Each structure stands twice: as C-alpha cells, then as structure tokens.
Structure 1
Amino acid sequence: MTQDTAALATRFLELHRAPTLLRVVNVWDAASARAVASVEGTTALATASHSIAATFGYEDGENIPLDLMLDMIGRIVAVTDLPVSADLESGYGDPGATVRRAIEAGVVGGNLEDGMRPLPDAVRAVEAAMGAARDAGVPDFVLNARTDAFVRAEGRSPQECLEEAVTRGLAFLEAGAPVVFVPRVTERAHVERLVAELGPQRLTLIVLPGMLPLAELEELGVARVSYGPWSQRVALTALQQLAERVRDGEGALPGDVRPLT
C-alpha cells in the first residue's frame, strides 16, 4: 500500500458521496480494463468475480483460487490510474486478510457478500474488512457490503426480502461499510424504501433487464450502479455474432470495430 492508494480510496469514496450517480462497467482482465478506462468520462473500474472466474474456467462462488483471482486483479490495477474496486465474493474464508491482500494489489474498494449468513456473522465480516483497511492505512476503503436478501429469496415475499435488506444494510453501515449493495432490486418502490432507510448515496445496485433509467436512479439518491457479469456477456455475445457471420460466409469485420489501444 502507498500513500497514493489511500488518496485514491478517498477519491473513490467521494465519487460515491457525490449526487451524480457513479456508473461502473465491470471488467475481468487487463484488456477489458484498458477498453473501459479509455472511454471518456469513465471515473472508476470494478472487477466482476464471476467474469474473472469464467476467464479461467471456474464456476462462480469462490471456486477460483484466491491467488489467481488476486493476480488478475493486480493486472487490472496495473493498467489504469483510475480507482479499482474488486469483487471479493464472501472474503474467501477470511475477509480481513483478503481485503488486506487486495489493498496490497492496489484496489481501493471491494464487494463483500453476506450469503445470508446469520447477521452477527455477516456484521463481523464487515468489521474485519474495514478493520483491515484501517490497519493498512486506507480508512476510506469503499467496502460495498452486499446483502443477498433478494438473491436468496427462498420462498420469502418481496416485502420480506425488502425488510431483510433494510435490516442487514443498516447493520453493515453501522459496522463501518460506506455503501450497501442490494442486487436483484429493480422496482422503484423498493429503491425508494432502501434509499429512505439507508440514506442517500448509500445504496448501490446492479443494472438488470427492466431496471429503472439511470437518470431516475440518480434522482432517487442511488450512489452507484454496476454491471457485474453482464459486461462480459455483452462482449462474448459480440464474439459469438462474429463467429456466426464467419460461419455464414460473411468474412468482413463490422464497420464499427475500433482499433486496439
């Protein structure tokens, strides 16, 4: 960790606290990081654990070795001057140590999933992660504390999921996380309730089909949106479409292909 890492973390936190919605397109290797970072107006990058695991042939869910995940994260950090947040899944058995190693790789924020573990256990994981960041000299580390209240609904009603997300989100904020990530939330009423309970610029979401327009999310006080594995799926869909054209005898490249940077 360097002083620059701490300063970059503060800058990243400020991007979340600003009233302008932080829009992050997730990346999975150095090439995708360069491509996204080269787009004018991009202010930060975030990795997607699912996408990095898929790159190496692993299923999502901490099946990829942590050393391999962190190596790729470090390669992403090395090709950009932008703040980078890393998807650290559930912390690989030791959230504090994993956050410390991620900071050593140069990241200034990270996702941490609760997996719907008992709330006291999930809170301790957040505390361990933020404690490790402070000990590393990065007190403004942007822990994106994720609750799977909607992901693991398991027969619960949407209203029950919402109440659980509020309870867990407030507990994570109390434990020191600056923002709370609630994936699978798409309904306006749910977004409004979460912002009302957690506070403006405290909620982060993933863009899904049927999501509210970004301008509306910004107006509602959402801090950040990201795209998770969808960005890799968009890229791979384009690759499949090229393969289909080649198969069908259309050998020319699309006219809108940009040169590599």
Structure 2
Amino acid sequence: MSNERVQQAAQTLKDLHGGSGPLVLPTVWDAWSARTAAGAGFTALTIGSHPLAESRGAEDGEGQTFAEVLEAVRPIIAAVDVPISVDLEAGYGQEPADLIAGLIDVGGAGLNLEDTVHSEGGRLRTTEEHAAYIGGLRAAADDAGVPIVINGRTDLFGRAGDDKAGVLDEAIARLQALVDAGADTVYPVKIHEDDDLIAAVVGAIAVPVNITAHPAKHTLERLAGLGVGRVTYGPLLQAAVTEHIKELLAGWR
C-alpha cells in the first residue's frame, strides 16, 4: 500500500477518536470477519493478536513472528476500505522504527502495544521502559510522515489478582507516562467488569481510554456512561461467534 493511502487511513482513524461517544472498533481476525464488520457499518476495525493466532493455529503471546503477523494481516487490511489498527503485542523484539515500517508496509493505520514482554519470560516492562518504547514508535511514525494511532496498553491490572484497586495509582501513572510519550489512546486491560476502576482511569487520563467489551454481555450505553472513549472486543467477539456456531451445529451431529 502506498504511503499516501496509509497516511489517509491513519488520519481517518485519528479523526474518528474523541467524538461524542465511544468509538467502537470490532476486533477481527481474517478477511471474512473484517468484511462482515465493515458491512455492518463500522468505520474502523482492529485486528486482535489472540483471535488472529487462533485463526492460524498459533499461540497468542507472540507465538508468531513479526514477519508472520505482517503476512497474515496484509490481506485482511486489503479486504476492506476502512482503517485498521493491528495488535502488535509487545513488539516481537523489534526496534520501534522496524515495527512502524512493517506496519506501514502492510497498510496498518494504528497499533496496540502492550507491556508484557513475551520473549523475555512474560516480564512486565517498567513504566519508563514502556514509555520509551511508545516514544520510539511515535518518533518513527513522525519520521515516516504517517500519523499512526498508538494505543498504549498495560497489563498491570491483570497481574493484580483480586486487588486491582491496589494498583490503580500505579496503573494511572503508567498510562499517563504513555500519553506523555505520544500514545493517542491507552488500554488498561482486565478492568472491563469494574465500573469504579473504569471511571477512575477515565477521570484521570485526558486521551480516550480503550476498554474491552463482550458483544453480548456488555452494552455500549454502560461504557458511554462511564466516559469510555474507545471500545474493542479482544478475543471476546471471536469467542461469542464460536459459541453461536456450536449452537447452530448442535442439532446436526
């Protein structure tokens, strides 16, 4: 895809953020699911690492190489005329400039970048380390002249077990450091069932906060009321589709 087309897609994705309600980006994993979501009227999509891996018989947590992920997402992005953000996990050991170059080459308009380093035993990057990586991504995108939408994710809440409230201040500080480094949006995972935590994070961070939703168990109205700026499904849309397919097939065994 030409740089001009990627620039336009990235700018469109950036402009879609910050509206009067949450921007919902259905999480897709192949050309069929992308076409289905775009056909349902959605103006932008995300490709999730977990559902993408499931669709390819691979493991989430960087069970694919960066080259394999790029090969997989290229036809998905080409299948629709809406901008797509790509979950690039912790970066697959790539330098920020190489990650951005690969994303632009396949036509990606945005990316999701988490702080769990799968290639190093699943350790959590420090706040400073993760912010530096996000800053490197922003600098590389700026150098390329493409306004890639960077969604900075933290897995800190997911590691806190039942004491998620106990890491709230640290999580907010971590997310704010990502914003200061150039993240357009932030993504605290594993708090999607806790209204108090969602509201606290949204109230503390000026950029749109991305929250995971289940397409059948959660509602857009609830998340909008909490001030959420961006909604994605993670692996939950694929899981819901899987259960529905099982129900459809059950009587044919």
What is the aligned partner in structure 2 of residue 25 from structure 1? 26
- Contact residue 142 and residue 177 of structure 1 kept, 8 A: yes
What is the aligned partner in structure 1 of residue 120 from structure 2? none
What is the aligned partner in structure 1 of residue 15 from structure 2? 14
What is the aligned partner in structure 1 of residue 121 from structure 2? none
What is the aligned partner in structure 2 of residue 103 from structure 1? 104
Superposition map of 1:1-261 within 5 A:
1-40=2-41, 42-96=42-96, 97-115=98-116, 116-138=124-146, 140-153=147-160, 157-185=163-191, 186-199=193-206, 201-208=207-214, 213-247=219-253
Structure 2 unmatched ranges of 5 or more: 117-123
Letter in 1 for 2:132: R
Partners of 1:95 and 1:170 in 2: CA distance: 22
| Cα distance per residue 1:170-194 (max 9 Å; x no partner) | 0000000011001111322212211
- 214-223 vs 42-51, greater mean Cα deviation: 214-223
- From the superposition, tell whether residues 167 and 212 of structure 1 become closer, same or farther in structure 2 (CA, over 3 Å): farther
- 26-35 vs 1-10, greater mean Cα deviation: 1-10
Partners of 2:188 and 2:216 in 1: CA distance: 16
Count of matched residue positions in the alignment of Structure 1 and Structure 2: 243
Alpha-carbon shift at residue 99 of structure 1 (Å)? 2.5
Partners of 1:51 and 1:18 in 2: CA distance: 28
Structure 1 unmatched ranges of 5 or more: 248-261
Provide the TM-score with structure 1 as the length reference.
Answer: 0.87
Letter in 2 for 1:45: L
- 204-213 vs 231-240, greater mean Cα deviation: 204-213
Greater C-alpha Rg: 1
- 171-180 vs 63-72, greater mean Cα deviation: 63-72
- 168-177 vs 229-238, greater mean Cα deviation: 229-238
Partners of 1:56 and 1:170 in 2: CA distance: 35
- Contact residue 141 and residue 148 of structure 2 kept, 8 A: yes
Alpha-carbon shift at residue 5 of structure 1 (Å)? 1.5
Letter in 1 for 2:223: L
- Contact residue 114 and residue 152 of structure 2 kept, 8 A: yes
Partners of 2:40 and 2:214 in 1: CA distance: 22
* Structure 2 residue matching 1:205: 3-state secondary structure: strand
- Contact residue 26 and residue 46 of structure 2 kept, 8 A: yes
* Structure 2 residue matching 1:246: 3-state secondary structure: coil
Provide the TM-score with structure 2 as the length reference.
Answer: 0.90
Alpha-carbon shift at residue 212 of structure 1 (Å)? 6.0
Alpha-carbon shift at residue 213 of structure 1 (Å)? 3.3
- From the superposition, tell whether residues 211 and 167 of structure 1 become closer, same or farther in structure 2 (CA, over 3 Å): farther
Alpha-carbon shift at residue 169 of structure 1 (Å)? 0.5
Partners of 2:203 and 2:10 in 1: CA distance: 26
Letter in 2 for 1:91: G
Partners of 1:209 and 1:235 in 2: CA distance: 10
Letter in 2 for 1:141: I
Quote the RMSD (CA, aligned, Å): 1.9
Partners of 1:142 and 1:209 in 2: CA distance: 24
